[in-house]
């Protein structure tokens, strides 16, 4: 269910009316959870058990970690939870890529392996779901957040449909905690939500989708005109920003309709004056996730220049792996959402 689909434009007002028809927090959380599962299952209901399974593993792992006082056991539980999440992510994002690569190499070597082919469909938002779950479990391990014991509340946090497939990657200290507090829809919420939705849909539909036609026309094999490639490259940079930021703004606007505040994911990145500043402004929830849960965990810059450079390389490598493998090879803008795992 895309943000620009008729189904989504029907789901949001229906959920809004049901949600605000009651003031009971527990009932509102159930409504959000039900709407989120409808949203996710609309694309392919067979992936709903995957979403529920990942959520339950995160939920149980955090409770076990919080209840365990033996440090070795806590680390083992943390490692198991993180490893399970990464394995699931790797299977869905890289299995087909590695099979195709092996077949290509074998054929070029004169071999003709007769391997059974298995095409694995990439579930919507699998990277966002995985990274958000890892952040939660690690925060519980570090003592930065208590383990949530209300299963409905936690499942709603993991499946919150405005940010489920396009982010931002929310921390438990921000989004999960909001499921425990009374939420109201005020005039200020209405004003900001309207502005965010208009701005977001304009960026997505008017700017991004219009530029996609131009870029797909210019980025063609054997393009004879060099300036056409330059123009297409500039247009592509604007398009991916308008597309992704448009989705992020829509997510913030829809969340506000239900009284939730999501974090900002973009802050005028093309106004940056350096590469480091650019990464602080572009896809902020991912760059801060990589910093807090990978770079710092590896030691950051505390162990000398060589280790710091290693940590930077590993962090940026994971940032590249986030975007998948096989779809990155075709950067036609019509497939950009698949390449970046936001659709």
CA-atom Rg of the chain in angstroms = 21
* Closest alpha carbon to 245 in 266, 272, 263: 266
Given a contact cutoff of 8 angstroms between Cβ atoms, the answer to whether 332 and 118 are in contact is no
Opening angle at CA 214, ends 210 and 216, nearest 5:
110
CB atoms near residue 122 (< 10 Å): 18
Q: Give the containing element (helix H, strand E) for 252.
A: helix 226-257
d(CA 19, CA 252): 17
d(CA 214, CA 169): 31
* Closest alpha carbon to 159 in 38, 57, 65: 38
d(CA 32, CA 18): 10
Given a contact cutoff of 8 angstroms between Cβ atoms, the answer to whether 88 and 58 are in contact is no
Known catalytic residues are: 323
CA 95 → CA 89, 92, 126, distances in Å?
10, 6, 14
Structure tokens at 89: 């992510």
Q: What is the dihedral of CA 319, 324, 325, 330, to 10 degrees?
A: -110
Q: Is the peptide bond before 168 cis (omega within 30 degrees of 0)?
A: yes
Q: Where are the alpha helices (DSSP H) in 4-70?
A: 6-20, 25-43, 48-67
CA 99 → CA 16, 104, 327, distances in Å?
45, 9, 14
d(CA 234, CA 214): 11
């Amino acid at each position: 269910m895309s943000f620009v689909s008729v189904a989504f434009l029907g789901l949001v007002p229906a959920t809004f009316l049901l949600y605000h028809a009651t003031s009971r927090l527990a009932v509102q959380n159930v409504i959000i959870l039900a709407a989120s599962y409808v949203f996710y299952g609309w694309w392919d209901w067979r992936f709903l058990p995957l979403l529920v399974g990942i959520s339950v593993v995160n939920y149980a792992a955090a409770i076990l970690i919080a209840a365990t006082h033996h440090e070795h056991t806590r680390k083992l539980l943390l490692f198991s939870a993180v490893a399970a999440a990464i394995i699931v992510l790797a299977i869905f994002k890289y299995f087909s890529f590695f099979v195709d690569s092996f077949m290509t190499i074998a054929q070029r070597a004169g071999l003709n392996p007769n391997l059974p082919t298995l095409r694995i469909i990439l579930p919507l938002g699998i990277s966002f779901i995985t990274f958000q779950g890892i952040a939660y479990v690690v925060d519980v391990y570090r003592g930065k957040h208590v383990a949530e014991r209300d299963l409905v509340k936690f499942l709603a946090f993991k499946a919150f449909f405005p940010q489920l497939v396009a982010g931002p990657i929310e921390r438990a200290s921000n989004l999960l905690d909001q499921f425990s507090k009374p939420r109201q829809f005020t005039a200020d919420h209405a004003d900001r939500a309207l502005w965010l939705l208009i701005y977001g849909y304009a960026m997505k539909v008017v700017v991004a989708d219009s530029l996609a036609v131009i870029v797909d026309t210019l980025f063609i094999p054997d393009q004879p005109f060099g300036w056409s490639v330059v123009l297409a490259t500039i247009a592509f940079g604007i398009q991916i920003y308008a597309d992704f930021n448009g989705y992020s703004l829509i997510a913030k606007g829809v969340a506000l309709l239900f009284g939730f505040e999501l974090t900002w994911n973009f802050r005028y990145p093309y106004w940056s004056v350096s590469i480091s500043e650019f990464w602080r402004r572009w896809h902020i929830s991912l760059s801060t996730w990589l910093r807090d849960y990978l770079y710092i965990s590896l030691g950051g810059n505390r162990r000398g220049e060589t280790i710091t450079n290693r940590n930077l390389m590993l962090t940026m490598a994971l940032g590249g792996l986030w975007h998948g493998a096989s779809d990155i090879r075709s950067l036609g803008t019509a497939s950009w959402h698949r390449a970046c795992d936001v659709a």
